């Protein structure tokens, strides 16, 4: 290891010292490299093994690496969806003493998918639309904490499955700026126009390569981020005025924001001069309403739509066992130990890298709904689980380390949990049912 090597990290992993920093990244040996699909980048990016986990290494200048490292740290403190920073490696030289580029090391986001790896043959309009919607939500969240991206694109984003939809994460922050006082409308509009232009180019590039399904309009897909962004931003920030005796509309507004996956941290309510009207405007909003509720009740930390789906199933479980008056935390613990955990443990060990547990549970509920719909009657959960493992999960790719699932598996519509109640046969003692016997 060259003596001039400089490592900047909040917690230095000893494994960093073993990586071949005196070799240009393009020439790293295959024993070190992990071959995963990646997005388009202006810099060389490769994946490597580091102490049993996968990290992404990007060669850049020392100044840019440190700037992006600091920015990712600031975004993480603001709970913005982004990749986790690991280290900055500077002072690299080769065996002859010639300088090499600095490197930014970030943790690989497990189960994440670059947009080009979301399909094996062609991109369908429905999938493209969902990607753009997810990017719009990400952009709103970033703008809400005062982050000006400067280079919004599908290529600078990673996507994770979120119960039939996608959740987007920022993966490239080198052009970003953080403004404590918030962004101006002009800054937000600039980001939005950059996003529209870049997305149109990326979709056209797929079209030129024959990877776009017929009938897909690249400009229409790109315009989708503008409409999605404006709709969500308005729901979060528009000021409303209504009669004083219509205070129920405050709850309606909060519910609408919750359904979009956001909470209100603070609101402003003021009476007007005539004392008959009030105004409401969200001041501080955070994404993850359902995430936080599920985490508080069960300790499960999952994506927002997954949390919504699991909570729906938990609420149905609560109604099914007639415990609506019981303590919510107690019922949640019972659901976790009697329903969710047995399903997760029933997945064979060799299949557990294919999907996250929460996504497995969500897809199981969908699979059960389709089976029940086909038979015209409810299918027991244990039977649906066996069918899902053998007929669906076993044939998927491992998304923990391999990207690019088949398109068909990403086109399943989201079904509400109301179609997937937990079953007990008439006359059964519900308390005696042992959910450990699911398989």
Q: Is residue 292 part of a domain?
A: no
Distance set, CA 402 to CA 25, 58, 108, 113 (Å): 21, 20, 12, 9
Q: What 3-state class would DSSP assign to 359? A: helix
Give yes or no for a contact between 181 and 146, defined as CB atoms under 8 angstroms apart: yes
Over range 203-232, report the average pLDDT: 85
CA pair distance 69, 65, nearest whole angstrom: 6
Q: 210 and 249: one domain? A: no
Quick one: 184 and 228 in the same domain? yes
Identify whether residues 320 and 418 lie together within a single domain: yes
Quote the CA–CA distance of 190 and 291 in Å, as a whole number: 31
**Number of Cβ atoms within 10 Å of the Cβ of 357:** 17
At 412 the pLDDT is 30
The DSSP secondary-structure symbol of 398 reads -
Is 121 domain-assigned? yes
User: What percent of the chain clears pLDDT 70, i.e. is strictly above it?
Assistant: 80
- Give CA separation, 197 vs 127, 152, 181, 204, in Å: 19, 9, 27, 11
User: pLDDT at position 68, please?
Assistant: 97
The answer to whether 365 touches 392, Cβ cutoff 8 Å, is: no
Last residue of a domain, one of 107, 139, 170: 107
Question: Beta partners for 46?
Answer: 57
Give Cβ neighbours of residue 278 (< 8 Å, ≥ 6 apart): 241, 242, 244, 247, 269, 270, 271, 272
Query: 269 forms bridges with which residues in the sheet?
Result: 280
Per residue in 383-395, pLDDT (tens digit) is 999 999 999 999 8
Residue 412 lies in a domain: yes
Average pLDDT along the chain = 82
Predicted confidence at residue 411, as pLDDT, reads 30
| Rounded Cα–Cα distance for residues 316 and 422 (Å) | 7
Shared domain check, 133 and 207 = yes
CA–CA distance from 389 to each of 228, 297, 383 (Å)?
36, 27, 10
Please report which confidence band the pLDDT of residue 408 belongs to, taking 50, 70 and 90 as the band edges: very low
Do 77 and 156 belong together in one domain? no
Residues 124 and 199 in one domain: yes
Residue 293: inside a domain: no
- What confidence tens digit (pLDDT) does each residue in 125-173 have? 677 788 888 999 999 999 999 999 999 999 999 998 887 778 899 999 9
Q: How many residues does the chain have?
A: 439
Question: What is the rounded CA–CA span in Å between residue 120 and residue 404?
Answer: 6
Q: Which of 107, 123, 143 is the last residue of a domain?
A: 107
Q: Shortest CA distance to 236 belongs to which of 271, 193, 265?
A: 265
How far apart are the C-alpha atoms of 298 and 432, rounded to whole Å?
22
- CATH for 171: 1.10.510.10
Per-position DSSP letters for 128-168, written without gaps between them: HHHHHHHHHHHHHHHHHTTEE-SS--STTEEEEEETTEEEE
- Return the higher-pLDDT residue of 114 and 406: 114
Number of domains in the chain: 4
- Whether residue 436 is predicted with pLDDT greater than 70 in this model: the reply is no
* Stretch among 4-18, 112-126, 307-321, 357-371 having the lowest mean pLDDT: 112-126
d(CA 359, CA 371): 18
Give pLDDT, residue 275. Answer: 58
pLDDT over 90 at 191, yes or no: yes
Quick check: 124 pLDDT over 90? no
pLDDT-derived band of residue 347, with 50, 70 and 90 as boundaries?
very high
Question: Helix 357-375 crosses helix 381-391 at what angle (to 10 degrees)?
Answer: 110
Residues 205 and 143 in one domain: yes
Position 3 scores a pLDDT of 56
Residue 24 token pair: 């240009």
Indicate if 38 and 135 belong to the same structural domain: no
Rounded distance between C-alpha atoms, residue 362 and residue 314, angstroms: 12
In this prediction, residue 284 has a pLDDT band, given cuts at 50, 70 and 90, of: low
Whichever domain contains 100, its CATH number is: 3.30.200
pLDDT band for position 320 (cuts 50, 70, 90)? confident
Q: Which strands, in side-by-side order, build the sheet including 85-90?
A: 6-8, 85-90, 102-107, 53-60, 45-50, 33-34
Domain identity same for 181 and 271: no
Spatial distance between the Cα atoms of 223 and 244, rounded to a whole number of angstroms? 38
Please tell me whether the overall predicted TM-score, pTM, comes out greater than 0.75 for this model: no
Residue 393 inside a domain? The answer is yes
Residues 324 and 418 in one domain: yes
Q: Can you give the residue range of the structural domain that contains 72?
A: 6-107
Domain boundary among 237, 266, 295: 237
Is 300 within the bounds of a domain?
no
CA distance 104 to 64: 9
pLDDT at 234 over 80: yes
Query: Is 410 in contact with 118 (CB distance < 8 Å)?
Result: yes
Could you tell me if 218 and 126 lie in one domain? yes
Q: What is the pLDDT of residue 396?
A: 84
Q: How far is 360 from 362, CA to CA, in rounded Å?
A: 5
pLDDT in tens, 244-259: 667 677 778 777 777 7
Q: Residue 419 is encoded by which pair of tokens? A: 């179609």
pLDDT of 383: 94
Q: Let me know whether 314 and 414 are in one domain.
A: yes
Percentage of the chain with pLDDT > 90? 46
Specify if 216 maps to a domain: yes
């Amino acid at each position: 290891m060259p003596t001039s090597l400089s490592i900047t990290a909040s917690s230095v992993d000893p494994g960093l010292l073993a990586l071949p920093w005196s070799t240009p990244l393009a020439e790293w040996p295959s024993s070190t490299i992990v071959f995963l699909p990646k997005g388009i980048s202006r810099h060389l990016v490769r994946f490597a093994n580091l102490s049993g986990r996968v990290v992404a290494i990007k060669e850049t200048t020392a100044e840019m690496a440190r700037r992006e490292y600091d920015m990712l740290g600031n975004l993480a403190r603001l709970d913005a969806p982004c990749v986790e920073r690991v280290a900055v490696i500077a002072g690299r030289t080769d065996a002859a003493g010639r300088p090499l580029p600095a490197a930014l090391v970030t943790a690989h986001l497990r189960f994440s998918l670059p947009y080009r790896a979301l399909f094996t043959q062609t991109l369908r309009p429905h999938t493209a639309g969902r990607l753009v919607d997810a990017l719009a939500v990400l952009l709103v969240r970033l703008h809400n904490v005062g982050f000006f991206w400067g280079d919004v694109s599908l290529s600078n984003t990673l996507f994770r499955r979120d119960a039939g939809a996608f959740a987007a994460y920022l993966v490239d922050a080198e052009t970003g700026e953080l403004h404590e006082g918030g962004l101006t409308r002009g800054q937000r509009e600039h980001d939005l126009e950059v996003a529209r232009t870049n997305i149109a180019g990326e979709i056209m590039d797929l079209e030129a390569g024959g990877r776009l399904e017929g009938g897909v309009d690249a400009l229409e897909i790109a315009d989708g981020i503008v409409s999605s962004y404006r709709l969500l931003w308005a729901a979060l920030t528009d000021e409303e005025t209504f009669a004083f005796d219509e205070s129920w509309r405050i709850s309606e507004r909060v519910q609408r924001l919750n359904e979009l996956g956001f909470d209100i941290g603070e609101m402003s309510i003021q009476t007007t001069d005539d004392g008959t009207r009030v105004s409401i405007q969200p001041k501080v909003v955070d994404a993850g309403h359902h995430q936080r509720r599920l985490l508080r009740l069960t300790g499960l930390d999952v994506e927002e739509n997954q949390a919504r789906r699991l909570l729906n199933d938990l609420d149905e479980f609560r109604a099914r066992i007639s415990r609506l008056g019981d303590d919510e935390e107690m019922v949640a613990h019972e659901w976790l130990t009697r329903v969710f955990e047995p399903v997760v443990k029933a997945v064979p060990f060799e299949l557990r890298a294919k999907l996250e547990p929460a996504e497995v549970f969500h897809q199981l509920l969908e699979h059960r709904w389709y089976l029940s719909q086909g038979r015209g009657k409810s299918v027991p959960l244990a039977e649906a689980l066996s069918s899902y493992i053998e007929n669906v999960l076993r044939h998927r790719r491992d998304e923990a380390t391999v990207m690019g699932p088949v398109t068909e598996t990403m086109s399943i519509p989201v079904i509400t949990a109301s179609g997937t109640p937990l079953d007990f046969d008439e006359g059964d003692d519900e308390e005696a049912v042992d959910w450990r016997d699911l398989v």
